[in-house]
Structure 1
Amino acid sequence: MSVTNEFVHGGVTLQALRAPDLCRDDVLSKFTHLVSKTLDVPSSFISVLDDNYQYIKAAHDFAVGESVRADSLCQFVVEDAVPLIVPDTLENHCFATNPFVIGAPFVRFYAGVPLITQEGHVLGTLCVVDTQPREFSAEKLATLTLLSQLVISFLEAWHSVGFTDLITGLPNRQQLIRDLQTLRVAGNQVSHRLVLIDCIDMPRAYELARSLGMAPVEGLLKDMATLLPLRLRPGPSEFLYTVATGRFALLTLTSSHFDAEWVAGRMEGVHADMGEGLSVDLTTHTGEAVFLPAEVSPQEVLRRAVSALHEAICRAVPFMSFSERNDERRTDDFTLVNDLATAVRHNHGLYLVYQPKICLKTGLPIGLEALIRWRHPNRGELSPAYFIPLAEQTSLLQEITEWVIEKTIGRLRRLQGQGIQLPITVNVSVRDFSHGDFAERLESKMTKARLPTNLLGIECLETERILESPAAIKGLEMLKLRGFDISLDDFGTGYSNISYLRRMPLDVIKLDRSIISGLATDTASRIITRSIISMLKELDYVVLAEGVENSETLEALKEFGCDQAQGFFHSRPLPEQELDSWLRWKMQN
């Protein structure tokens, strides 16, 4: 890998020291002040040197800043890695013509010791200087050496805190950014790859550790930091980092076989130990970005890799490479979510439509379903099938649910003022009614509006998630206990086991349009639909068919004993004013 030693080793680096850090340099300045006072020498400084320059990082009564290495008084200390004492620079042939000796600051005495890391790298020097010649005893040299060891201990502690993940011991995100910046500053034109590795379901890990404290989670992360090198076996050209809790990164050359697909394959089927006899199976997702360091900023490289990783997670696939097209779509989704948040919080652009439910015995409206719509200021009408899945990935979904409930309660009050008692159902996610106080808050809203709870129906889907969540089942039971009718939407798609449904406190089962779509033409569809309705009725459910679009389907549903129907045959979803007109017409007939 075409990099300098500045990030081949894991300790403090020249690149890290060259970068500005006010807090670090303030402490170093206090060190130089202490050195001068302790050794009774008027001036002192701390310098670092690379191949071309010397940089004064902190100084006491010494005005030189950056200089070329060839003019540096400290170059001999760094090259030989041993202390150097020059009692009188004018009498030393190496120093007599130095520009800092014959010109400002007119150094006549120099004593410097190397700053050596634990790995044996010489970063720079700690020096004392004077404008007058002087002797420097062995005792003072020992003190200066001891002080240099304190300086390097501070620098390594500073680096460890700032550039090393304290739990895993791997270089952290800040170090990755610095290493990428090092490549960029060097003008590196060799193609590199950054692979992000996500293999720990952190919410699950924290849930497992709730009763055991944080130690098992930290043990899990340490175990992963040990497992990754063992599985991947990175060579001298591959560098591992911890970039977030439970998320790791691998920096390598594009010519290496260490790509996202290979890493995901190597991590397949592994598990990590949490201690206390607990282990967690790991599902690995990886995302990669290929880049030329000289042409792409470190932040953009990391962003591209994150974009690819999140695409892999969302698609439930092991690996993804960065794609401009996918990235643009995700950026567009992000913008749309922000617009949606504005629409909800400022009540702008969102509105409800209501689709009537018809009693198949009387032909009269028996209820309404509230459906959200969004008229975007730039994109026009947007289907909830487009924006609700985006909201589900954020905390915004709860705000939308609250908005829909408030508007629906307002509609119920207006219907009541017209002498109409039609219940309205609203769609509520598992996440919403899993909150322990959801049913209580909903009852409070209805009480405040002076409405009976049975006028507001709760419609839910995601059967599998409900059955897997004790909190969701309890949430439904609390709603049922307070008098809210509960419907299960889209029965007949996906997870539709009738025996499992008996675990849920349901009143109404809605048959998905896919079940009834062939009633008018297909004998098998009629047999299946009749059997399903018969079983649901024997279990004392109210059965509602959605997507009814023709009279043949309607007549078959009546014959099979279905209770209610909704669909375009009776009415499309209606805005507020059209609903009022439709209800007046329907009630009069």
Structure 2
Amino acid sequence: MSKQTILIVDDQPENLVLLESGLNDMADVVTCHQPSKAMQVAFECDPDIILLDIEMPDINGFELCKIFKAHVKTRAISIIFITSHHDFEHESKALALGAIDFISRPINLSVCRIRIQNHLRLSAQERQLTNAYKALQSEKEHLHVTLKSIADAVIATDVEERVTFINPVAQRLTGWNGNSAIGQSITTIMNLFDASTNDVLINPVSVALEEERVVAMALNAKIVSRQGREYRVTDSAAPIKDSCGKVTGTVLVFQDVTESIAMATQMSHLTNHDPLTGLPNRLLLHDRLMQSIPCNIRTNTKLAVLLIDIDNFKYLNDTLGHQVGDKVIFQLSQRLEELCDAHTSLSRIGGDEFVLMSSGINSSNHIDVVATQIATLAGTPMKVGGEEYKLSVSIGISVFPDDASNEQELLRHADTAMYRAKTLGRSRFCYFSDELQSEVDQRFQIERLLNKAIEEQTLEVFFQPKNNLATGELVGAEALVRLRDENNNIIPPDAFIPLAEETGLIHALGDQVLHQCCKAASRWLKEGNPVRVGVNIAALQFSNEQFYLNIQQALKTYQLSPKWLELELTESALMHDFDMTRTTLQKLSDTGVSISLDDFGTGYSSLSYLRFFPLDVLKVDRSFIKDMLNDDQAKNIVDAIIHLAHSLNLQLVAEGIETSAQLETLKSLGCQEGQGYFYSKPLPIHEFEARYLSNNAK
């Protein structure tokens, strides 16, 4: 609470000095020795208490008190007279004018301070009560306006099911106005029936009161208004509880879905159009392609399909929310429709994918122009909720009859070209070619190898040691999966891990790696070489409802204590499904499994994850380690992450240590553990055991 203020009005300077010095530790003291200026001073300082002398020239204290009490800005201020008069007449007059106290001279400063302190306390309490009342009235008015303004119907009742509030929407649907509805039984003003049988339905308010829980209305319900109009409705009733948990009534919220049900007759439109943008969907696009191809054959012209995909749209959606993402999609669709004419149509075929179909083309330059226009329209910043967002798109182009002979090939080849455009960077377009087809074939070959390796359980797991930076001793190992081709050559993980995620094979791959790691860790432990093994977990693995059970089963199968297993996740994994991921990780953490956040510092919301997820380990991304000796900013980031980890009692592991200089710098900064080629590259299990475990076996 801010410091209170006392205004002292007295024409004698010595009195002002005495009182100011005696009271200035209790409040801010403002003095005025000219009664004629007292009102102006009061306006400026807004005092809690005014001390008035009675005998003053020009305007005496009584007259000044009348002036204060007559003005709206000062009438509520507490006034205390200080005077040498001791008679009943003066004291009575002072109190009659609105003064709250009367202090006689000569002043006993101790008694005066106590009395002033008491009045200050009363004044503060009065202000608090006034402010609380104003806040309560404001909140009440805001709630009242909100309930009256929302589009849903709202009715509140007491515990006897009598209506205590009904908003305008509910009044319209029931046919009862506010005054006549208040006090009526809910069953009187809300006639609820089954829309098919016309049977009377139990109002959910009754069930909500009886069972003290949220209750939804029966399906296929309708209400009949006081005037006989029928409305199809959906609703729910919830008990209202006071601060002690006692039920004091209910609130019923319902919506008029009459028009929504009528819209069911328009399902043919919804079947062929995207509900967000209103554009044709994939089904209608196929139909239009089938109609356009014969026309282009007859006119000896070309048909182009441009597949448009928004770059990194998933991150925008996950970071800002689907509501913002939907608005961005809608605005982009409106912009792209500007390119449509009699020979061009736009479709939305996926979350962030559009297809522009252009027929009757005589020149390939036309396609280049259209693709450039698409990139320009998408790259122009768009405003959503007062914020600007700049997009980029990748565009894949397939042309009939050059690249395909039917509509399915056109779309498939455009999709292939679009993925190539993504690899080239943002705001690019790419035509389909035989070379691209060759890459697609190679992709299918890797997918075949991956399927075979998973089926035959021939995936290999390499282990890269984690070392204590101070002592150099082994403290753990990161497991890294490897895939070999027919010639026994290792296929890089970045060539098959994304493919495994796209095809859904990541679940089987992850399970196989998990079991190999648990098996190895269990054997090492029995041989007297305890090693905690870190297993990388992909984002999509959390979408498997059996993920938690699979880990528990693997630990049980190999009789491995959870403390020897560490799950390494990237921030993209945490972003996949926030609530489900958090719940799953908490369950795993509760069993003793360690949770590590990989590549820390490179994601979007690293610090928020430290609050919401049960993390044990942070792994500093190798990009910072690589640059920290030549880039002060990178070094400062590493230093900040180390301090952050220490303050949160998290273990810290530096990735990608390659030189002794990097090692010494990390040690000086207080980093405990690390891994990288300075110690060892990832090794096949037999080499890892020979180098790190055989000498330690008991």
Give the TM-score of the pair, scaled to structure 2: 0.49
Residue deviations 1:349-393, cap 9 Å, x none? Answer: x20111122223443222111111122114722221332233232
Query: Which letter maps to 2:370?
Result: D
Residue deviations 1:184-236, cap 9 Å, x none? Answer: 4x4x54344333456899999x99xxxxxxxxx9xx99x99x9699633413x
Q: CA deviation at 1:514?
A: 2.9
Q: CA deviation at 1:493?
A: 3.3
Is 1:262 matched up with 2:385?
Answer: no
Q: In 2, are the aligned partners of 1:261 and 1:286 still within 8 Å (CA)?
A: no
Is 1:580 matched up with 2:689?
Answer: yes
Aligned counterparts, 1:59-78, within 5 A: none
- What is the DSSP-based 3-state SS (H/G/I as helix, E as strand, rest coil) of the residue aligned with 2:475? strand
Q: CA deviation at 1:582?
A: 1.8
Is 1:339 matched up with 2:414?
Answer: no
**Aligned CA distance change for structure 1 residues 315 and 483 (closer, same or farther; 3 Å):** farther
Whole-Å separation in 2 of the counterparts to 1:371 and 1:561 = 27
Instruction: State the partner residue of 1:176.
Output: 289
Instruction: State the partner residue of 1:547.
Output: 656
Q: CA deviation at 1:507?
A: 0.7
Residue deviations 1:14-57, cap 9 Å, x none? Answer: xxxxxxxxxxxxxxxxxxxxxxxxxxxxxxxxxxxxxxxxxxxx
Instruction: State the partner residue of 2:569.
Output: 460
Aligned counterparts, 1:390-405, within 5 A: 390-405=499-514
Q: CA deviation at 1:175?
A: 4.8
**Aligned CA distance change for structure 1 residues 312 and 553 (closer, same or farther; 3 Å):** closer
Q: CA deviation at 1:426?
A: 0.3
Q: CA deviation at 1:315?
A: 6.4
**Aligned CA distance change for structure 1 residues 264 and 351 (closer, same or farther; 3 Å):** same
Residue deviations 1:139-166, cap 9 Å, x none? Answer: xxxxxxxxxxxxxxxxxxxxxx9xx948
Q: CA deviation at 1:482?
A: 1.9
Q: CA deviation at 1:525?
A: 6.1
Q: In 2, are the aligned partners of 1:194 and 1:288 still within 8 Å (CA)?
A: yes
Residue deviations 1:63-84, cap 9 Å, x none? Answer: xxxxxxxxxxxxxxxxxxxxxx
Is 1:308 matched up with 2:386?
Answer: no
Q: In 2, are the aligned partners of 1:196 and 1:305 still within 8 Å (CA)?
A: yes
Q: In 2, are the aligned partners of 1:181 and 1:297 still within 8 Å (CA)?
A: no
**Aligned CA distance change for structure 1 residues 231 and 199 (closer, same or farther; 3 Å):** farther
Query: Which letter maps to 1:442?
Result: I
Query: Which letter maps to 1:176?
Result: L
Whole-Å separation in 1 of the counterparts to 2:469 and 2:683 = 20
Instruction: State the partner residue of 2:127.
Output: none
Instruction: State the partner residue of 2:474.
Output: 365
The 10-residue stretch of structure 1 (171-180 or 519-528) with the greater mean CA deviation from structure 2:
519-528
Q: Which of 240, 251, 272 is the matching residue for 2:345?
A: 240
Aligned counterparts, 1:34-73, within 5 A: none
Aligned counterparts, 1:80-91, within 5 A: none
Whole-Å separation in 1 of the counterparts to 2:336 and 2:681 = 60
Whole-Å separation in 1 of the counterparts to 2:346 and 2:295 = 16
**Aligned CA distance change for structure 1 residues 266 and 443 (closer, same or farther; 3 Å):** same
- What is the DSSP-based 3-state SS (H/G/I as helix, E as strand, rest coil) of the residue aligned with 1:562? coil
Q: CA deviation at 1:540?
A: 0.5
Q: CA deviation at 1:536?
A: 1.6
- What is the DSSP-based 3-state SS (H/G/I as helix, E as strand, rest coil) of the residue aligned with 1:548? coil
Is 1:250 matched up with 2:354?
Answer: no
Q: CA deviation at 1:578?
A: 1.6
Q: CA deviation at 1:469?
A: 2.4
The 10-residue stretch of structure 1 (335-344 or 304-313) with the greater mean CA deviation from structure 2:
304-313
Instruction: State the partner residue of 1:329.
Output: 439
State percent identity of aligned pairs. Answer: 27
Q: CA deviation at 1:176?
A: 1.7
Query: Which letter maps to 2:341?
Result: P
Q: In 2, are the aligned partners of 1:436 and 1:475 still within 8 Å (CA)?
A: no
Instruction: State the partner residue of 1:448.
Output: 557
Q: Which runs of 5+ in 2 are unaligned?
A: 1-267, 319-325, 383-389
Q: CA deviation at 1:452?
A: 1.1
Q: In 1, are the aligned partners of 2:653 and 2:672 still within 8 Å (CA)?
A: yes
Whole-Å separation in 2 of the counterparts to 1:316 and 1:517 = 24
Q: Which of 646, 649, 657 is the matching residue for 1:537?
A: 646
Q: Which of 672, 680, 697 is the matching residue for 1:563?
A: 672
Instruction: State the partner residue of 2:538.
Output: 429
Q: Which of 387, 398, 412 is the matching residue for 2:496?
A: 387
Query: Which letter maps to 1:232?
Result: L
Q: CA deviation at 1:424?
A: 0.7
- What is the DSSP-based 3-state SS (H/G/I as helix, E as strand, rest coil) of the residue aligned with 2:503? coil
- What is the DSSP-based 3-state SS (H/G/I as helix, E as strand, rest coil) of the residue aligned with 1:502? helix
Aligned counterparts, 1:290-309, within 5 A: 290-292=399-401, 296=405, 299-309=408-418
Q: In 2, are the aligned partners of 1:284 and 1:318 still within 8 Å (CA)?
A: yes
Q: In 2, are the aligned partners of 1:433 and 1:476 still within 8 Å (CA)?
A: no
Q: In 1, are the aligned partners of 2:336 and 2:374 still within 8 Å (CA)?
A: no
- What is the DSSP-based 3-state SS (H/G/I as helix, E as strand, rest coil) of the residue aligned with 1:259? helix
Q: CA RMSD in A?
A: 4.7
Q: In 1, are the aligned partners of 2:481 and 2:493 still within 8 Å (CA)?
A: yes
Whole-Å separation in 1 of the counterparts to 2:311 and 2:694 = 59
Whole-Å separation in 2 of the counterparts to 1:232 and 1:524 = 45
Whole-Å separation in 1 of the counterparts to 2:410 and 2:543 = 39
**Aligned CA distance change for structure 1 residues 179 and 454 (closer, same or farther; 3 Å):** same
Whole-Å separation in 2 of the counterparts to 1:393 and 1:558 = 40
Residue deviations 1:409-448, cap 9 Å, x none? Answer: 2212321331322111100022213544422331232123
Q: In 2, are the aligned partners of 1:434 and 1:475 still within 8 Å (CA)?
A: no
Instruction: State the partner residue of 1:277.
Output: none
Instruction: State the partner residue of 2:306.
Output: 195
Q: In 1, are the aligned partners of 2:463 and 2:480 still within 8 Å (CA)?
A: yes
The 10-residue stretch of structure 1 (484-493 or 542-551) with the greater mean CA deviation from structure 2:
542-551
- What is the DSSP-based 3-state SS (H/G/I as helix, E as strand, rest coil) of the residue aligned with 1:406? helix
Whole-Å separation in 1 of the counterparts to 2:507 and 2:588 = 17
Whole-Å separation in 1 of the counterparts to 2:588 and 2:280 = 49
Q: In 2, are the aligned partners of 1:254 and 1:290 still within 8 Å (CA)?
A: no
Q: CA deviation at 1:405?
A: 0.4
Q: Which runs of 5+ in 1 are unaligned?
A: 1-160, 208-216, 272-280
Whole-Å separation in 2 of the counterparts to 1:388 and 1:559 = 36
- What is the DSSP-based 3-state SS (H/G/I as helix, E as strand, rest coil) of the residue aligned with 2:671? coil
Aligned counterparts, 1:408-427, within 5 A: 408-427=517-536
Give the TM-score of the pair, scaled to structure 1: 0.57
Instruction: State the partner residue of 2:587.
Output: 478
**Aligned CA distance change for structure 1 residues 493 and 248 (closer, same or farther; 3 Å):** closer
**Aligned CA distance change for structure 1 residues 319 and 165 (closer, same or farther; 3 Å):** farther
Q: CA deviation at 1:468?
A: 7.2
**Aligned CA distance change for structure 1 residues 198 and 493 (closer, same or farther; 3 Å):** closer
Query: Which letter maps to 2:671?
Result: C
